[in-house]
Amino acid sequence: MKVLWLQSGGCGGCTQSLLCHEPRPLFDELRDAGIEFVWHPALSPESGEEALAVLEACADGSRAFDVLCIEGAMLRGPNGSGRFHRLAGRPLTEWVRQLAARASHVFAIGSCTAWGGFSANTPGNPLEACGLQYDVEEPGGLLGAAFRAGDGLPVVNLAGCPTHPGWIVDTLEKLACDGLTAADLDEFGRPLLYAEQLVHHGCPRNEFYEFKASAEKHSDLGCLMENLGCKGTQAHADCNTRPWNGAGSCLKGGYACIACTEPGFEAPGHAFQETPKLAGIPIGLPTDMPKAWFVALAALSKSATPKRVRDNAVEDHTVIRPSVRKGGK
């Protein structure tokens, strides 16, 4: 399976993250699954004219490829000219339109590519940025809501900022081995293999969440939802069951999930690291739980919080250990 990769209005971090793939080195992993890069801007030997020849051949149909991976927002400005990003003198948006028409599958790598990035979420959208098939959460984007790739699917949105290497490798391998169908994607076109979970699942702070024992300041061990802006109960991704960089996740790193797989995460309407509240109750509650239940449950669990959990929640290390019972009682 041949993959053509281009970058545009993004940071290149999804490629840098992809190179962290484990346990096998990325290129060995892909090669043995029958996946190869036709060209990748950061990784291929061809430069300048040789690279341009590859891109032109792919664009005019004389060189076959299967998957078009785009990393970075589509920049249509200034004034619709596409001049904020040109490749060989032509707006990258033109290249993408042409290549997408030839591709059997189109993948948006990262949230910028899927939804449009920071500019698209800033008043006035100064870069006139958009996603491949979304303007933030509205279908549309560069390719339009009606776009379908050769496989009949819309753009596959590997959203995340950055993407986990496993999300990309597993989606490519799913496609190479079994094919990909609409049933493999959620309502926003994200692969269910990582988007059917919530970041909350497997969160190492779950005991603090259960008792609403909340962190009050950075580096506290407690739950980050009540005060520090955590959206793990609303964000679709498997970050706490699929480890980042061996042993990590945002929550394990001590900071809030900012829901970077969700459209619009860049402009939450409040400071990222603070939880907006109404009458003392966080406004961003779990998506599928009636508010009254949550409030009742929170009040009950707060009243039942063990001292150990309450005290540890506001420290950066365990000050009260779980008690040890002797004699198996």
Kindly identify the residues of this chain, within the stretch 232-271, that bind another protein according to CB under 8 A. 243-256, 258, 260, 266, 271
Per DSSP, the residues of 282-318 read: ESS--TTS-HHHHHHHHHHHHHT--HHHHHHTTSSS-
Looking at residues 171 to 230 of the shown chain, list those that interact with another protein (rule: CB under 8 A): 217-219
102 sits in the region (left: phi over 0; alpha: psi -120 to 50; else beta) called: alpha
For another protein, the binding residue among 1, 2, 12, 56 (CB under 8 A) is 12
Q: Which residues pair with 106 in a beta bridge?
A: 68
- DSSP codes joined into one string, 184-241: GB-TTS-BHHHHTSBTTTT-TTHHHHHTT-B--STT--SBSTTTS---TTT-B--TTT
Question: Does the footprint of another protein cover residue 83 (CB under 8 A)?
Answer: yes
**Does residue 13 touch another protein according to CB under 8 A?**
yes
Please state the closest distance from residue 201 (CB atom) to another protein, in A.
17
For the bound state, the minimum distance from the C-beta of residue 249 to another protein, rounded and expressed in Å, comes to 6
Q: What Å distances lie between residue 38 and 44, 99, 115, 198, 235, CA to CA? A: 8, 13, 25, 34, 33
Q: Which of 70, 100, 161, 313 binds another protein (CB under 8 A)?
A: 161
Query: CB under 8 A: which stretch of 46-54, 58-66, 188-196, 282-290 binds another protein?
Result: 46-54
By CB under 8 A, name the one of 51, 101, 285, 298 that touches another protein: 51
Q: Is 118 in the site for another protein (CB under 8 A)?
A: yes
Say if CB 96 and CB 131 are below 8 A apart: no
Site for another protein in 298-327 (CB under 8 A): 316-317
- Residue of 33, 52, 298, 314 interacting with another protein (CB under 8 A): 52
Structure tokens belonging to residue 31: 């090669």
x-marked contacts with another protein along 273-292 as a string, rule CB under 8 A: x-------------------
Q: Which region, judged by CB under 8 A, interacts with another protein, from 77-85, 131-139, 180-188, 284-292? A: 77-85
Selection from 190, 212, 182 nearest residue 305 by Cα: 212
The answer to whether 48 contacts another protein (rule: CB under 8 A) is yes
To the nearest whole angstrom, how small is the minimum distance from the Cβ of residue 116 to another protein?
A: 12
Q: Do you find a cis peptide bond into 165, omega within 30 degrees of 0?
A: no
**Distance from CA of residue 212 to its chain's centroid?**
27
What is the Cα–Cα distance from 148 to 123, expressed in whole angstroms?
30
CB 174, min distance to another protein, A: 21
Measure the CA–CA gap between 98 and 75, rounded to whole angstroms.
16
Min separation Cβ 259 and another protein, Å:
11
- Minimum separation from the CB atom of position 153 to another protein (A): 27
Residue 94 touching another protein (CB under 8 A) = no
How far, CA to CA in Å, does 88 sit from each of 5, 52, 118, 180?
16, 8, 25, 33
The DSSP H or E segment spanning 105 is: strand 105-109
Which residue of 1, 2, 41, 201 would you call a contact of another protein, by CB under 8 A? Answer: 41
# binding residues, another protein (CB under 8 A): 75
Q: If binding is defined by CB under 8 A, does position 99 make contact with another protein?
A: no
CB of 200 to another protein, least distance (A): 16
Q: How far is the CB of 242 from another protein (least distance, A)?
A: 11
Which residues, at least 6 apart from 152, have a Cβ–Cβ distance to it below 8 Å?
none
Q: Which CB atom, from 125 or from 153, has the smaller least distance to another protein?
A: 125
Separation CA 291–CA 312 (nearest Å): 27
